[in-house]
């Protein structure tokens, strides 16, 4: 089954990118693993989809470079995919998230390749969404192509990242997870003395809480600010690495054994949500968004076609 999967590593130069690839090569054929460095994130989704369609294997696995997978977890996820209905567009597992201290869905998406062309039309334009992938998945679900959440633990998320990336991500969390910020901030405060990652996370969070401008899900967004903050605080950036050192393994093993170490699992992603199919049209009346969305997309395409003709005619008259 592993030879039926095109693997796309979505990277923006994460510190763990070499390790991410090495772990994936323990599971998949190297010729089927591809790394993209595309920004912003909405364009990275589009690029990964286009690669998946080009290689035309039954499944396209998108893994963010800040995820360190386990052989067992990925194998389970692929096994589950073959048990699903044919209209299921995507299946995802859980990751152990360093900054939330819980198991939650992030950074791993196994897509049914023959449905990707439909999804390409539903990726939000840059700047329109802080969650372009989730919004695209929900739009596909409303059109009759649900996605499936599974309790499979795929790997670790956001461990051993660059300080500048931590700053930027936690700046975004101030806008993406406002409903639970007090609890998250208290958790980071409790961890800051034993791990500087959490102190940098707090700096990013505080900056995000007072920011009023346009936000982009883009590696370049805030990069200069993050570098300036680190410089002012006298903290040198982490060095790169391409092997999992023993101390890192011990650290990640500890976290894996204490997967609810923030005490927030029931608040952020309770186990009742770990196994389900998200079919949004099932919760709507007969005149469902699926019908309306299809109509609007057809009308939009037709209007765009008419608009191009009108522009062409206007140029001919000039």
Kindly report, residue by residue over 13-43, the tens digit of the pLDDT.
999 999 999 999 999 999 999 999 999 999 9
In this model, does residue 193 exceed pLDDT 60?
yes
All structural domains of the chain with their residue ranges:
2-159+273-280, 163-237
Average pLDDT, the chain: 86
pLDDT reported for residue 253: 55
Q: Which spans in the chain are helix H?
A: 17-25, 41-55, 71-81, 116-120, 132-142, 163-176, 181-191, 196-210, 223-233, 246-257, 265-268, 289-317
For the chain, how are helix, strand and coil distributed in percent, rounded to 5?
50, 15, 30
pLDDT at 317: 44
Residues 216-263: tens digit of each pLDDT: 877 778 889 999 999 999 999 999 876 665 555 555 555 566 678 899
pLDDT in tens, 161-175: 999 999 999 999 999
Could you tell me if 100 and 264 are in contact, meaning their C-beta atoms sit under 8 angstroms apart?
A: yes
Domain 2-159+273-280 maps to which CATH number in 3.40.109.10, 3.90.550.10, 3.40.50.720, 3.40.50.300? 3.90.550.10
Preceding peptide of 189 cis, ω within 30°: no
């Amino acid at each position: 089954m592993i030879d039926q999967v095109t693997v796309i590593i979505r990277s923006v130069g994460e510190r763990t990118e070499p390790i991410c690839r090495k772990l994936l090569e323990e599971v998949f054929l190297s010729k089927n693993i591809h790394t993209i460095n595309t920004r912003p994130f909405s364009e990275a989704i589009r690029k990964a989809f286009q690669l998946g369609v080009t290689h035309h294997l039954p499944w396209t696995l998108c893994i963010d470079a800040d995820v360190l997978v386990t052989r067992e977890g990925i194998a389970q996820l692929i096994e589950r995919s073959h048990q699903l209905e044919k209209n299921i567009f995507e299946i995802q597992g859980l990751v152990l998230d360093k900054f939330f201290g819980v198991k939650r869905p992030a950074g791993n998406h196994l897509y049914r390749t023959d449905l990707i062309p439909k999804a390409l039309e539903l990726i939000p334009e840059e700047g329109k969404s802080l969650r372009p992938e989730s919004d695209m998945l929900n739009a596909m679900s409303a059109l009759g192509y649900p996605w499936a959440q599974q309790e499979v633990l795929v790997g670790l998320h956001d461990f051993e990242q660059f300080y500048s990336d931590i700053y930027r991500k936690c700046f975004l969390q101030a806008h993406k997870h406002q409903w639970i910020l007090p609890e998250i901030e208290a958790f980071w405060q409790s961890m800051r003395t034993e791990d500087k990652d959490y102190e940098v996370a707090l700096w990013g969070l505080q900056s995000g809480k007072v920011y009023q401008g346009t936000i982009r899900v883009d590696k370049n967004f805030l990069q200069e600010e993050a570098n300036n903050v680190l410089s002012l605080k006298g903290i040198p950036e982490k060095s790169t690495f391409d092997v999992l050192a023993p101390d890192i393994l011990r650290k990640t093993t500890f976290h894996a054994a204490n997967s609810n170490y923030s005490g927030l699992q029931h608040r952020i992603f309770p186990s009742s949500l770990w196994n389900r199919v998200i079919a949004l049209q099932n919760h709507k009346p007969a005149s469902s968004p699926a019908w309306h969305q299809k109509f609007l997309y057809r009308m939009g395409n037709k209007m765009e076609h008419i608009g191009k003709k009108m522009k062409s005619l206007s140029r001919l008259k000039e």
